[in-house]
A and B are shown apart, each in its own frame.
Chain A
């Protein structure tokens, strides 16, 4: 293989210039200042559980400027959902959480729309509500959120709706491997614990928004600030009964994503269809907290059996997941959140994970997609085991990490695993095993480490198209979403590499379902892997056409040609060359004067489609399969913290990331993912929690929901990021995903460091000063 010219280099982001000059357009900038725009606002349930007895919109409708008021019966009676179809766009007859949408208004000004909400009279009959997932899960729970659950359709994973222990349970995911009872019997040490995680919110800075236009031909164009453009189009098409060809979803840059998907687009779409006018809906920050799909809170019971020498023999896990009032992506998050634990070799495993309805807000994908929560449990559990065995915690992990070629606990053959090297690098940088300098006084210093990973989903498709322009520019189109992760830059690097052209000769077209080929979307750390492969195949298809056209002119066979610097040339005799532009030129001499050299349509258009071959269905009785994921990226993080024994305040002093993302396409962008993931990880560990009171969020704003500022994250010499390269044979140039593994080990690494510093172990997130103080006091008794 020849040396790579662009892939593997930290070329600057192609969108950086427009972003630092304020020229970059975000989805929220669509339609700004447009005359005739209507503004949509939504009325939400103030009750966690209630029957709607009556809605009177007559006074609201008469207000000046109000163009439409809609309630549940104005929307087709179609339930939506990612897995289980259980939710109406606007509630019909019953509301199930504080924030369930009840009515919507479109008006000529934002103020008029807001005022109209005050004039909608809704008569509710409050119903008893349930907020605790373990309580809601019981067979005899008197409160049932969806009495008609059995009649709801599933669009996927219907197998997860078997063996449900109670009427509020919508998901049960199982893993059965070996025999855990035998394993525990043979174990020298058994440790059991309970861990829990809380609700957290994505807090992407762009306010969730959507702008919808109904075109003259009946096409509904919806600008949406959330990822998954094609699935969004499908959902709009399904709910409003529009042919897929009449729904066009568009996006500009996103002001962050992280899996967050507050769906302003359904409201904008519905109001535009109703009024025939352009409608813009922008959520307030408060709205974006309760309409966000939160990270799924999980209660995790874990029991591990291990031999004296630290070999894991058996693990039993039971996870109860509070998905809130509607299932949305929760069933898939529960199932996909099981992949992370495969990084260790465990011969006997029993896993039962349940998704439960409660009268709390809905949950959805969040960076890590269900995996950060089990890591919170298992990466602390391993430290507990190590201490009891008198073993080093890094050694214990390394002893049990699966090896290349080994079958993991789900039946997949492990490939591309740099986990051990990640651990080694992180441990070395932090000075693992060396005690920290003690500053004395109230401050206790300690170190912690943890290992995580994130799979990339297997069962999706990406397509791409390449158009070669006469000026030698290579344009490519893709259906992923640029939410800041840098996919437009990375994909452009792949194109530049394939054509051997400089970056400025590559042009990217994206963010419009009517002009880009299908892609599942920028989720599951899949864009580099899937879309990258599709783009690469499209390049190769375009090059094939160039070679076939140029071959007769260059007197060589197509397979002997190559491209470089805007030319096509004979690989073995590079002096035999012609510019790509010349392919489009009228022929001066030759058979057909004036004809284009390119094929009859006058275009070079390459197509590429990528999906994984040999995908097997999971056996949902055992959780076993042979190809359940596309790849795994691994992440080790180590940290040094200071715990103030007087106040319980924990400060992160030093931080190291060591990640295996396969071959990094752009190392600096990978660093950005690691550092950003660390920031979010620190937030999730120490500061972030949506505080709930009877189903209501008490802190829906940045002042009270505190995610880290500059002050809480180490920088400069105290923040280090390193890569380990375990190339993946199916990844483009060996690359794997980078975005999501980034916070999977963060919280347990911090918890382990706190234990190391102060001898207290916190098992429920977040690790607040109050919890630390309480634990410190208890430990002194």
Chain B
């Protein structure tokens, strides 16, 4: 039996009629047209579908849509500021060539945002530990780690 859920996605209130077994990634992509969130395994093993629910990173492919009812969801599409300025992580990923195919990028950036929200100055090792569940097959991660470090430096500078 479908049910109506209300949730906030990237600041906008949404009402969606969902089957109880639909996952959040499916609803974001297929019902709300937010295809920036990617699915790489549907089993919570690759992290490509990472979005923030009430600020916490979740694998949206495993997170039931009904559980998101009443919650605030942030996806890659909502990361830019109101005046469309890029988030420092987005800037750093571009500048440091941390993107290749880009399929892991939205999940990687959302996971990294959750880290930087929690820890403003992570070490290289802390970044690697935090992102170990976000798989990337293209880059070897070197430039991703570089980009997250650069973004954290940038964000601390801005916050002074």
| A residues lining the B interface (CB < 8 Å) | 10, 12-13, 15-17, 19-26, 28-29, 32-33, 202-207, 253-258, 284-285, 483-486, 668-669, 671-672, 675-680, 701-703, 707-711, 713-716, 719
Contact = CB atoms under 8 A, between A and B. Distances in A.
A675 B140 contact: yes
Contacts of B29: 29, 32-33
A484 B102 contact: yes
B40 interface: yes
B90 A715 contact: no
A274 B100 CA distance: 37
Interface string B129-159: 1011111111111111110000000000000
Nearest to A20: B90
A675 B137 CA distance: 11
B37 interface: yes
- 5 A-B pairs with least C-beta separation: A22-B36, A484-B101, A679-B140, A255-B103, A19-B102
18 contacts: A23-B77, A24-B102, A28-B38, A206-B38, A257-B101, A284-B42, A285-B45, A285-B46, A484-B102, A672-B139, A676-B138, A676-B140, A679-B140, A702-B43, A702-B45, A709-B131, A711-B129, A716-B142
Nearest to A705: B45
Nearest to A721: B142
B106 interface: yes
Nearest to A16: B94
B75 interface: yes
B100 A484 contact: yes
Given A21-B79, A285-B41, A715-B124, A679 B141 contact: yes
Contacts of A28: 38-39
B35 A13 contact: no
A448 B152 CA distance: 35
Contacts of A703: 43, 45
B24 to A, nearest CB: 15
B76 interface: yes
A23 B29 CA distance: 12
Contact of B43 (A10, A668, A701, A710): A701
A750 to B, nearest CB: 14
Contact of B90 (A21, A24, A678): A21
Interface string B81-104: 000001001100111010111111
Interface residues of B, number: 58
A205 B46 contact: yes
A19 B142 contact: no
B52 interface: no
| Chain A CB within 10 Å, residue with most, of B77, B95, B134, B140 | B140
B11 interface: no
Given A15-B102, A20-B99, A206-B103, A716 B145 contact: yes
B35 A32 contact: yes
Interface string B66-81: 0000000001110110
Given A20-B90, A702-B43, 8 more contacts: A16-B94, A20-B102, A32-B30, A484-B103, A710-B141, A711-B129, A711-B132, A713-B142
B60 interface: no
A332 B101 CA distance: 27
A713 B137 contact: no
Contact of A486 (B46, B100, B109): B100
A719 B48 CA distance: 25
B48 to A, nearest CB: 6
Contact of B137 (A17, A32, A258): A258
B35 A25 contact: yes
B128 interface: yes
A20 B94 contact: yes
Contacts of A253: 101-102
B65 to A, nearest CB: 15
A500 B57 CA distance: 45
Nearest to A256: B101
Contact of A12 (B39, B95, B101, B143): B95
Nearest to A285: B41
Nearest to B91: A20
Contacts of B95: 12
B141 A715 contact: yes
Given A21-B79, A205-B46, A29 B102 contact: no
Contacts of A10: 97
B94 A12 contact: yes
B31 interface: yes
B31 A254 contact: no
B106 A22 contact: yes
B126 to A, nearest CB: 11
B139 A676 contact: yes
A203 B43 CA distance: 14
A20 B79 CA distance: 10
A224 to B, nearest CB: 15
A25 B102 CA distance: 10
A715 B149 CA distance: 12
B131 A710 contact: yes
B50 interface: no
Contacts of B140: 675-680, 708, 713, 719
Contacts of A702: 41, 43, 45-46, 135
A483 B135 contact: no
B62 interface: no
| Chain B CB within 10 Å, residue with most, of A15, A203, A675, A710 | A710
B137 A203 contact: yes
B45 A205 contact: no
Nearest to A482: B101
A418 to B, nearest CB: 22
A716 B38 contact: no
Contacts of B145: 710, 715-716
| Chain A CB within 10 Å, residue with most, of B39, B79, B89 | B39
Contact of A285 (B40, B86, B131): B40
A29 B30 CA distance: 9
B106 A205 contact: no
A707 B45 CA distance: 11
A182 B131 CA distance: 57
B34 interface: yes
Contacts of A671: 97, 143
A277 B75 CA distance: 32
Contacts of A709: 131-135, 141
Nearest to B103: A255
Contact of A715 (B33, B93, B128, B134): B128
A265 to B, nearest CB: 18
Given A21-B79, A22-B76, A33-B30, A16 B99 contact: yes
Contacts of A17: 94
Contacts of A679: 137, 139-141
A22 B31 CA distance: 16
B124 A716 contact: yes
B102 A668 contact: no
